[in-house]
Amino acid sequence: MSDVFRYFFEPRSVAVIGASKTPGKAGHEILVNMLANGYQGKIFPINPGGEEILGYPSYRSVKEIPEPIDLAVFIVPAEKTLEPLKECAEKKVPAVVIASGGYAEVDQQGANLQEEILKVARSAGMRIIGPNTSGLTSTPANLTTTFFPLGKVRRGPISYIAQTGNFATHTMQWINTAENFGVARVAGLGNKIDIEDSEVLEYLGEDPETKAVLMYVEGFREPRRFLEVAKKVTRKKPVIILKGGRTKAGAERAFSHTASLAGNDSLLDGAFRQAGIARVRRYADLINVAKGIAFQSLPPGRRVSSLAPSGALGVVVADACESAGLKIARHSESSLKKLREISASWVTISNPVDMSAITPILGPVEGYRKVMEILLEDEGADVIVPILLASPRTPAEAYRFLPELSAKYPPKPIYVSFTGDRPAYAQARTYLEERSIPVFSPLEDIFEVLPILCRCREFISPSSLPG
């Protein structure tokens, strides 16, 4: 495997070709983002004016920089790329991100320019991500090459590869502001003239910062190679793909977007399965799967135990569970006995446990805690799904029994949902996710995510599992 990725994702120095003093310009915002993320390496703005930018002295050319450069980021117009790229080649810059557009996605002239760029890079042993992408983010290095205003990106164990920089960035912004988990490495590959999916996947497979890899792909440049790499990586960690263009309408749209040819989607489906790749069909599921993986270990099996605040929601959960190809766990005799002891006498104990027969006796918090403990103890269940009733009368801290129990029974993952009062839910969700208990709303999202997580786990080789 090429070790160029340490120059991309852990560079000691970055040159920004096309840095600008003007707020709002891409060449300025990229520096703002790098500062906001606390990048600790050296930053060298390159600008023909040579003025100071955001406190950094700028240079007219990389050649003037008196030390080595690991990564050069280009945000100059396409037609002004070649000259400074040659200078980077002379300086032996190992890694280049070309953010600007105006290449093969526009016209033949742009396509020709791409060819020339590639020639320069190849002859110097320089590697390129892009062009036409906002590039990459690497939270372990406190680095982003994105110019889209982002602020500090939250660090976490999830990495992803996106077909385009826009998709990568909008998704990262959503994760950063709507979710409580964080990301490790993000790459938006753009036109993929040099580095493409399989090479990045191979790197992320070995990367100790990366617990799982998500991907949004419209087309593979080298599908066979990609599947070979994926087959190895998925033995070690989950790889989850949303493939754009799986329908006729989507495929037409993908062709006009990235000139990707769709191929036969059901063949692809089989190939993904053989390579151990979990496929999702909804954008939302990519993010929900990431949340499940970020916060809990993968489910050791498909037997689900649940508890719900009403009998009706219990029915809804049982339907969702079976529709998703999961199993409603059978309570052991010992669990049944313990549940009977704390339930109202009139109720038939079943799975999901009807909490309306328990909370009037034990109170909402103690009732859930006791039942959770019984279900976690029961060897017939692999996964616990509590549906809680959010109430303005129950402060978020009341749910601390969930992270406490989760720490006590780590191999049995817990996925939570809520009904009831929305502001109370929002507080409880933040409280729980900050303590690694993932919360999903609506509850059906858990049953979209669970079968995917089960498939990921089924593919991982025993030697790669914790414990």
Looking at residues 320 to 379 of the shown chain, list those that interact with a second copy (rule: CB under 8 A).
320-323, 328, 346, 348, 350-352, 354, 356
Member of 55, 67, 341, 393 binding a second copy (CB under 8 A): 393
Other beta carbons less than 10 A from residue 320's beta carbon: 21
Interface with a second copy, residue 106, by CB under 8 A: yes
Member of 245, 299, 364, 386 binding a second copy (CB under 8 A): 245
Which residue number, 73 or 329, has a Cβ lying nearer to a second copy? 329
Member of 23, 66, 178, 341 binding a second copy (CB under 8 A): 178
Three-state DSSP class for residue 434: coil
Interface with a second copy, residue 11, by CB under 8 A: no
Member of 164, 180, 210, 234 binding a second copy (CB under 8 A): 164
Region of 116-124, 193-201, 240-248, 268-276 interacting with a second copy (CB under 8 A) = 240-248
Give me the least distance between CB of 319 and a second copy, in Å please. 3
Q: How far is CA 105 from each of CA 25, 118, 147, 329, 403, rounded to the nearest angstrom?
A: 22, 16, 20, 52, 49
Residues with Cβ within 8 Å of 19's Cβ and at least 6 positions away in sequence, in order, are 27, 28, 30, 31, 45, 46, 47, 53, 58, 75
d(CA 84, CA 100): 14
Member of 52, 83, 107, 379 binding a second copy (CB under 8 A): 107
Interface with a second copy, residue 425, by CB under 8 A: yes
Interface with a second copy, residue 391, by CB under 8 A: yes
Site string for a second copy, 208-237 (x = CB under 8 A): --------x-x-------------------
Interface with a second copy, residue 241, by CB under 8 A: no
d(CA 409, CA 166): 40
Looking at residues 265 to 304 of the shown chain, list those that interact with a second copy (rule: CB under 8 A).
281-284, 287
* Residue whose structure tokens are 């839910």: 425
Looking at residues 125 to 154 of the shown chain, list those that interact with a second copy (rule: CB under 8 A).
149
Member of 1, 118, 261, 315 binding a second copy (CB under 8 A): 315
- Contact (Cβ atoms closer than 8 angstroms) between residue 72 and residue 95: yes
Looking at residues 445 to 464 of the shown chain, list those that interact with a second copy (rule: CB under 8 A).
none
**Long-range contacts of 315-324, Cβ-Cβ distance < 8 Å, separation of 24 or more:** 316/443, 317/352, 317/385, 317/387, 317/443, 318/351, 318/352, 320/443, 320/444, 320/446, 320/447, 321/385, 321/447, 323/447, 324/447, 324/448, 324/450, 324/451
Which residue number, 61 or 305, has a Cβ lying nearer to a second copy? 305
Which residue number, 214 or 405, has a Cβ lying nearer to a second copy? 214
Q: Which helix (H) or strand (E) holds 98?
A: strand 95-98
Interface with a second copy, residue 422, by CB under 8 A: yes
Which residue number, 38 or 442, has a Cβ lying nearer to a second copy? 442
Member of 420, 451, 458, 460 binding a second copy (CB under 8 A): 420
d(CA 306, CA 318): 9
Interface with a second copy, residue 396, by CB under 8 A: no
d(CA 47, CA 45): 6
Phi first, then psi, for residue 455 (nearest 5°) are -65, -40
Give me the least distance between CB of 151 and a second copy, in Å please. 9
